Amino acid sequence: MCIFCKIIAGEIPSKKAYEDNDMLAFYDINPQAPVHILVIPKEHIPSVDAIDSQNSAIVAKIFETIPEIAKAAGITNGYRVISNCGDDACQTVKHLHFHILGGKPLSETMA
Ligand code: 5GP
Ligand code: ZN
């Protein structure tokens, strides 16, 4: 089981920001902004590269829910959503996740 599947299963503790039947949001263990939340589907999808017509409904739901998660976390002045996909993007956990970063003015550069 991958590390995020273990977090979903409760085998690894996490500080949850949102949860329902299909998805989980929790605070990143190594925050890179004052608010740094990871949003993941409960279904194990390896990365953006593995999104297809069979599993994209959860991706749509995640994006429908991100504004609510950001607001509940206290972000009031904008945020960035990032998904690292593959080696060149430094994806370290091979379970699809979207970083929500906010709580301060973020860097103008993204790469
Ligand atoms: P990636 O580099 O794959 O885009 O992002 C993986 C993220 O998962 C990193 O920001 C890392 O800090 C976070 N992370 C890795 N292991 C854990 C963990 O056990 N708990 C939490 N809360 N975050 C984790
Ligand atoms: Zn997984």
- Catalytic site residue from 36, 95, 97, 99: 97
Q: Is the CB of 5 under 6 A from ligand 1?
A: no
- How much is the pLDDT for 35? 98
- How much is the pLDDT for 30? 98
Cα-to-centroid distance, 92 and ligand 1 (Å): 7
For the stretch 34-60, pLDDT in tens is 999 999 999 999 999 999 999 999 999
Indicate if 95 belongs to the active site. no
Tell whether domain 3-102 is in CATH 3.30.428.10: yes
Rounded to an integer, the average pLDDT of 4-28 is: 98
SS3 37: strand
pTM (2 decimals)?
A: 0.98
Domain chopping of the chain, boundaries: 3-102
- How much is the pLDDT for 91? 98
d(CA 29, CA 13) in angstroms, rounded, equals 11
Kindly give the pairing relationship between strand 35-41 and strand 79-82. unpaired
d(CA 105, CA 97) in angstroms, rounded, equals 22
Per-residue confidence at 65, pLDDT binned at 50, 70, 90? very high
- How much is the pLDDT for 98? 99
Q: Is the CB of 4 under 6 A from ligand 1?
A: no
d(CA 84, CA 60) in angstroms, rounded, equals 17
H or E element: which one contains 101? strand 98-102
